[in-house]
Structure 1
């Protein structure tokens, strides 16, 4: 892809390179589709527990269509269509919804559900479970609540050193999906170095989307003078993309959209790399490009990257929502 736009600022041209892949992953697409299909089939309002994905623009767009976002299930009226977010929920939340008889659509990413299943399988086999992740993240809270046994949460190799466990404890680990192989490598090495009896998922079971986007941004950083990551402040994977740029020695900024771009960032800059977190829609990337084009004349190219063709199935009741035939 290559095109050019002429802005009103400096005549010095600005090269924009887009990461590939970037933006929505299959789990995010499925979660948003679930909300939209539920609105089409059942009408507004439908109630969504927590942000469906970590992106304010996505949430605001769905809210405008009739989705109501709540913090807890007790805010959902009796009998109202209820949706769980892509990050997953604790079993106590599932039980609460069942006891209230709420019609629920679970938008938990299938890769997150896979982590829950793995964790329960390890515990059933008699192993003590370690979860590699960030305390307080919605996915981690859900995963901890899905395991009917004590789970030891670690995020760094130092956390592993502090674990109060006998060295001969049979252990297993699972990881938060928004962490990549590269993010978890040192922690996994620390677990194996300290404890002799450890098992965990194969490397190829780590979330494909997280790994692909991080691999792409590393390549992008090597070609850029400045990195702009489009994503929300509370998006774990978006923050990690920014950190990768900084680790590569490239100035990097996380913005919600084009309005967050500061023209001063472009001083003495010839090439800007742009990527987007897994919950950021393409329209927000376009808004950043438009903002840059209003400051400088730009050319836009895209890295080749990995082609992603993963798709996740919608719940059966939403696969044939009442939409015009030419839109489905």
Structure 2
């Protein structure tokens, strides 16, 4: 039986970013240096495949520091942690390694710098997301106010309208953030913004690649986890950019084939915490059902690399 024809648009860049790559490497190097178990506070990155793989190698994932013994190394996830977490680890004399993405750390430093200048901070982010919790936890309670939508800006109760600065969660939709920043600047004309865009290069690049292929594809599959902010934003960006059907899939087994009936072209991308092996798996599943022609849509080249902490680079 002849397979139906399918054009497969493959977004580039896609998948792992430098911060995720570094965080995974930190766990693997910690296991090599200190042996198992190594404890990790929160999922190191938001991807079940990655977490399960590290768990099989000896990593133990916990939600809170109190679940960790004092005598084993603990790693803080790529999303960052409130200041109280390393302070508690130091108090317990624990060996800890911070895998916070350097671009998230940049936002932390920015918030602290503005706070030191006497400014109150407004954070654009998602309530409850580990990165938002970590950034807000860099400063005393009440010093960082959270907004998720332009409507939240209208309801803000600030200490001094002339003494404000804003920071942004690194994994948001670029387009959504523009609207919120515009609302902030309209209501608080004196508000100070970041010296350089807080939304990370990888988030921006992956969203731009999706926009470039969205109008070409009948449907789009985003490989990523449901708790991955940047992956969920890619689904939204694809829909807004003109793709009539966008679906988030963790694995090829999650593909809703009935929703794809009659389509002739599919776009594929992956969130910044999704490994390429899962993209390959989705492509293989499509090739099993269709006669596939692959077309890469490249909008940027990435060559960013972040060093792992010195404690792991030093030999035992």
TM-score in terms of structure 1 length: 0.92
Determine if contact 1:120/1:148 at 8 Å carries over to the other structure.
no
Number of residue pairs aligned between Structure 1 and Structure 2: 314
Distance, in Å, in 2 between the alignment partners of 1:176 and 1:141 is 10
2:133 matched to which residue of 1? 141
Distance, in Å, in 2 between the alignment partners of 1:40 and 1:103 is 15
Give the superposed CA RMSD. Answer: 1.5
Matched, 1:25 2:17: yes
1:3 matched to which residue of 2? none
2:193 matched to which residue of 1? 200
Per-residue CA deviations over 1:258-300 (Å, capped at 9, x if unaligned) read 1111222331211100000000000000110111111112122
1:186 matched to which residue of 2? 179
SS in 1 for 2:3: strand
After TM superposition, the structure 1 stretch with the greater mean CA deviation from structure 2, 294-303 or 213-222, is 294-303
Gaps of 5+ in 1: 1-8, 323-328
Distance, in Å, in 2 between the alignment partners of 1:155 and 1:82 is 31
Matched, 1:311 2:302: no
2:228 matched to which residue of 1? 235
2:280 matched to which residue of 1? 286
Determine if contact 1:263/1:295 at 8 Å carries over to the other structure.
no
2:110 matched to which residue of 1? 118
TM-score in terms of structure 2 length: 0.96
Distance, in Å, in 2 between the alignment partners of 1:262 and 1:294 is 15
2:149 matched to which residue of 1? 156
CA shift, 1:169, in A, is: 3.1
CA shift, 1:166, in A, is: 6.2
1:300 matched to which residue of 2? 294
Determine if contact 2:173/2:233 at 8 Å carries over to the other structure.
no
Distance, in Å, in 1 between the alignment partners of 2:195 and 2:110 is 12
CA shift, 1:205, in A, is: 4.7
Change (3 A) 1:292 1:119: same
Determine if contact 1:128/1:169 at 8 Å carries over to the other structure.
no
After TM superposition, the structure 1 stretch with the greater mean CA deviation from structure 2, 243-252 or 103-112, is 243-252
Determine if contact 2:173/2:237 at 8 Å carries over to the other structure.
no
1:259 matched to which residue of 2? 253
Matched, 1:247 2:240: yes
Distance, in Å, in 1 between the alignment partners of 2:161 and 2:88 is 38
CA shift, 1:248, in A, is: 2.6
2:88 matched to which residue of 1? 96
2:215 matched to which residue of 1? 222
Distance, in Å, in 2 between the alignment partners of 1:229 and 1:205 is 23
Distance, in Å, in 2 between the alignment partners of 1:197 and 1:233 is 37
Determine if contact 2:104/2:170 at 8 Å carries over to the other structure.
yes
2:204 matched to which residue of 1? 211
Determine if contact 1:55/1:280 at 8 Å carries over to the other structure.
yes
Higher RCO, 1 vs 2 (CA within 8 Å, ≥6 residues apart): 1
